[in-house]
Structure 1
């Protein structure tokens, strides 16, 4: 049993042109009894988001509003990182500006952290709130975003999508002890999407993450016309390649074991093959990787890299 007596949370919300949704997100965070501050990073919005935040702040002193220097737009990663670096609480949670928490969002997280001081993070399921009409297929697909079964923390990396096939979690459902950022670093600003997936895979590799509520949502993701995850598959394919390359490099520097390094390599190569580059291009790409990571030659007996599918 942990000696932890106080469970305090800082909620980080990056926002860009979120005037339609940000107030609901902030209210849902402050309705949680363990939230001591909400840190909103206003990322150079061109609508009335900033004015709205200052208006809310006059009524709610626990709201912290941050901006990048000169009020410029720097993207989700740098905005979340700025929020993390300025958060005051022991525990950090995330919420997108167009999403919102449901009641009792952190109840299970609190129990798990209080029962085991070695736990670094707790992940939970989220659902969707539809602001627009969607097909039955899309509603079913977005109904519940979660891992599909209880996964021991030491097996999470191999099990969670996109490395494995047992589902994945969203930042809206994740709460972490702030020490995890000393171990894995922050969100990668070089990625325009998939920056969250990259960081959560690093956490699965280095930290002890426990599943909380995985069968019912603790938060709802707003589904609307301007969601980046809708209709941007080409952007995701490009950034997944960059993500796997970044993860491979990070894992090499961290001396991650060969089995997991090979797992990352296979994902990178499958992604590379999906881009349908020429044989010559693939060959030079393979050579460049082997030159950088000679340990890849250990795995050559398992496959022909230029024919790998």
Structure 2
């Protein structure tokens, strides 16, 4: 079996980290191309990756049209489109792979041709001082046990056994035909959206979960520290996932659970009723398939707040 991997690295103003990331991908025996997409960097990032490209012919460098900044989703999507191998993997430019990142994945894919993806543990590399609470939190980005593919979505949406990270994924490239690309309207939480779609439609299995095969860089510029931004886009992520599920014949109980999550997050905003009505009316009006479903009744604020008058919709 030929097992060659295309590693996709989106880069934006990561001059301090990108060389380590790229070299860690190039030194993996299974990697035959490292696809770097420059997302409109304004520091020395482009200069560094051009230098690395001259030193190693498996490195391919691309940019968006007119070298503009389009965000992580659009940048990864361009990388997927440029990939030529059967297998793809992702690496953030401020992170890096450990040695033998893909050796166990190769064995798994060779053992069972029906497997479409493998997930592995990802650890942390600290580039700033951290307190005790952070140290306890940043232990290992993984699931604590292997989960049957048909149960993976539930495990991820509930965080029952932990979390996954894109750096630990190896996928057959053609799974994109099943689930589509990253959502370019999401500034953050685009990775969760992608992982949820994978778990719903793709046969993913656990690889190495007790030790990291990649490391995430923890530094002062990490986007996951921006809580307000995540709160806003987590709602948007769930909404886009609802739309995707409704178009891809996902079971209604899963869609209902997503609506409940959206509802609870919206309630935390403590908006006035008219603002919530405007939000939900706009959402359902722009998605006719959901507008003409029980969900548009069950989750419309006036009815939701008066559920005692409509017990039929709220039976447990």
**TM-score with structure 1 setting the length:** 0.92
Aligned counterparts of 2:136 and 2:121: Cα–Cα separation in 1: 15
Q: 1:211: which partner in 2?
A: 206
1:259-298 equivalence runs, <5 A: 259-286=253-280, 292=288, 293=290, 294-297=292-295
Aligned counterparts of 2:133 and 2:54: Cα–Cα separation in 1: 43
Deviation at 1:279, TM superposition (A): 3.0
User: Which segment is superposed worse, 276-285 or 75-84?
Assistant: 276-285
Matched, 1:23 2:23: no
Deviation at 1:41, TM superposition (A): 0.4
Q: 1:107: which partner in 2?
A: 103
Aligned counterparts of 1:14 and 1:106: Cα–Cα separation in 2: 20
Aligned counterparts of 2:173 and 2:124: Cα–Cα separation in 1: 27
For 1:157, what is the secondary structure of its paired residue?
helix
Aligned counterparts of 1:268 and 1:116: Cα–Cα separation in 2: 38
Q: 1:289 to 1:80 in 2, by over 3 A?
A: closer
Deviation at 1:136, TM superposition (A): 1.5
Matched, 1:248 2:279: no
Deviation at 1:81, TM superposition (A): 0.6
Deviation at 1:70, TM superposition (A): 1.2
Q: 1:290 to 1:14 in 2, by over 3 A?
A: closer
Greater percentage in helix: 2
For 2:78, what is the secondary structure of its paired residue?
helix
Deviation at 1:166, TM superposition (A): 2.5
- For structure 2, list consecutive stretches of 5 or more residues without a partner in the other structure: 308-316
Aligned length, in residue pairs: 301
Aligned counterparts of 2:61 and 2:296: Cα–Cα separation in 1: 50
Deviation at 1:248, TM superposition (A): 0.5
Deviation at 1:286, TM superposition (A): 4.4
8 Å contact from structure 1 (residues 42, 65) kept in 2: yes
1:1-309 equivalence runs, <5 A: 5-161=1-157, 163-230=158-225, 232-286=226-280, 292=288, 293=290, 294-297=292-295, 300=298, 305-306=304-305
Q: 1:41 to 1:282 in 2, by over 3 A?
A: same
Deviation at 1:148, TM superposition (A): 2.2
8 Å contact from structure 2 (residues 5, 33) kept in 1: yes
Aligned counterparts of 2:36 and 2:282: Cα–Cα separation in 1: 41
Deviation at 1:110, TM superposition (A): 1.1
Aligned counterparts of 1:91 and 1:174: Cα–Cα separation in 2: 10
- For structure 1, list consecutive stretches of 5 or more residues without a partner in the other structure: none
8 Å contact from structure 2 (residues 126, 218) kept in 1: yes
CA RMSD of aligned residues (A): 2.0
Aligned counterparts of 1:77 and 1:124: Cα–Cα separation in 2: 21
Q: 1:43 to 1:235 in 2, by over 3 A?
A: same
Aligned counterparts of 2:297 and 2:196: Cα–Cα separation in 1: 22
Aligned counterparts of 1:280 and 1:211: Cα–Cα separation in 2: 46
8 Å contact from structure 1 (residues 13, 96) kept in 2: yes
Deviation at 1:306, TM superposition (A): 3.2
Q: Report Cα offsets for 1:24-79 as digits up to 9, x if no partner.
A: 00111111110001000011111111111111111101000001111111111111
